[in-house]
Amino acid sequence: MQIYKEMDIGTAKVTKEEAGEIKHYLIDIITPEERYTVANFKKDCENAIEEILAKGKMPIVVGGTGLYINSLIYGIDYQEMEFDEEYRESLMKKSETEEGLKEIYEEAKKIDPEAMKIISKNDKKRIIRILEIFKATGKNKTEQELLSKQKELKYDFRVFVVNMNRDRLYERINKRVDLMIEKGLIEEVEKIYKKYKKFQTAMQGLGYKEVVEYLKKEITKEEMIEKIKKESRHYAKRQLTWFRKDKSFTWLDSEENMQKNIDIILNNL
């Protein structure tokens, strides 16, 4: 979500002070009304990696969306898929009602039960993606990924997953949401919502769609804050479940001393 201009607070975008002299890529590259897919990400990310490697430096890819990470490291070619815009629009429209969302969720479960194990019943974007992939290719997302993993890998990658005590993690998530509200998340979303007429995936981001519901007076401010916290905790849990599936990933304990984790990383390079 940090690819979007003007979406700073809700995405915890790196500040100039935090970035220091280290060049960061794929930040502030499109507006919130532009559509950006996993195929776009893979292409842009590979271009950035090649640029960094050409400088004799090591690229460090940071993020937590499993689908995007897998597309990059396993070379899953989603860009080869021809997606039907009308079909997507019909699914988006259907997902606007509770009954319609439940219907497409159940349909996605039949098509790809494995992938749906870690997708929330309210995650419209990922439910629709499951259906889109199947319609475009005749294969479900899980099958697509298995086929891609049989290809020769483009990069010699190492993946490190940072973990911490579950209670402490949830406590930090709750505090982070309070801090985002304090820093002006509502005002940020309101400004974007008024400025741009058409949103693609930007306003479906965690923390943004809930504020939009509040601005449309569908929920109270208190309900909005609690909903962001709850959905953030659920998302964190789904992330950990996703990453545990891949036995090649190395886990780091955030509560260990820094030097121990550095040693683990260096020993895996």
How remote is the C-alpha of 228 from its chain's centroid?
Answer: 15
CB of 128 within 8 A of CB of 104?
A: yes
* Of 148 and 4, the one with more pLDDT: 4
Report the SS3 class of residue 30.
strand
pLDDT at 120: 84
* Residue ranges making up the domain that contains 268: 158-269
CB of 129 within 8 A of CB of 108?
A: no
Q: Is residue 10 part of a domain?
A: no
Model confidence over 176-209: pLDDT tens digits? 999 999 999 999 999 998 888 776 567 878 899 9
CB of 7 within 8 A of CB of 1?
A: yes
Cα separation of 111 and 37, whole Å? 21
Q: Is residue 89 part of a domain?
A: no
CB of 119 within 8 A of CB of 127?
A: yes
Classify burial at 219, counting beta carbons within 10 Å of its beta carbon; exposed 0-12, middle 13-18, buried 19 or more.
Answer: middle
Strands (E), the chain: 160-163, 250-253
Position 249 pLDDT exceeds 80:
yes
Q: Is residue 222 part of a domain?
A: yes
Q: Which residues lie below 8 Å from residue 8, measured CB to CB, with a gap of 6+?
A: 188
Q: Is residue 145 part of a domain?
A: no
Residue 190 sits in a domain of what CATH number?
1.10.287.890
Q: Is residue 185 part of a domain?
A: yes
Q: Is residue 260 part of a domain?
A: yes
- DSSP secondary-structure letter at 162? E
pLDDT at 81: 57
pLDDT at 183: 95
Q: Is residue 150 part of a domain?
A: no
Position 80 pLDDT exceeds 60:
no
Q: Which of 245, 72, 45, 30 is nearest to 157 (CA)?
A: 72
Q: Is residue 103 part of a domain?
A: no
The tally of domains found in the chain comes to: 1
Give the containing element (helix H, strand E) for 136. helix 124-137
Cα separation of 118 and 242, whole Å? 7
pLDDT at 170: 95
pLDDT at 246: 86
Q: Which of 137, 130, 136 is nearest to 111 (CA)?
A: 130
Mean pLDDT of 26-35: 91
Q: Which residues lie below 8 Å from residue 235, measured CB to CB, with a gap of 6+?
A: 206
Cα separation of 50 and 76, whole Å? 18
Summary mean pLDDT of the chain: 88
Residue type, 105: Y
Position 93 pLDDT exceeds 80:
yes
Model confidence over 222-236: pLDDT tens digits? 999 999 999 999 989
pLDDT at 110: 94
Mean pLDDT of 49-72: 91
Position 151 pLDDT exceeds 60:
yes
Position 145 pLDDT exceeds 80:
no
Count other Cβ atoms within 10 Å, centred on residue 130: 23
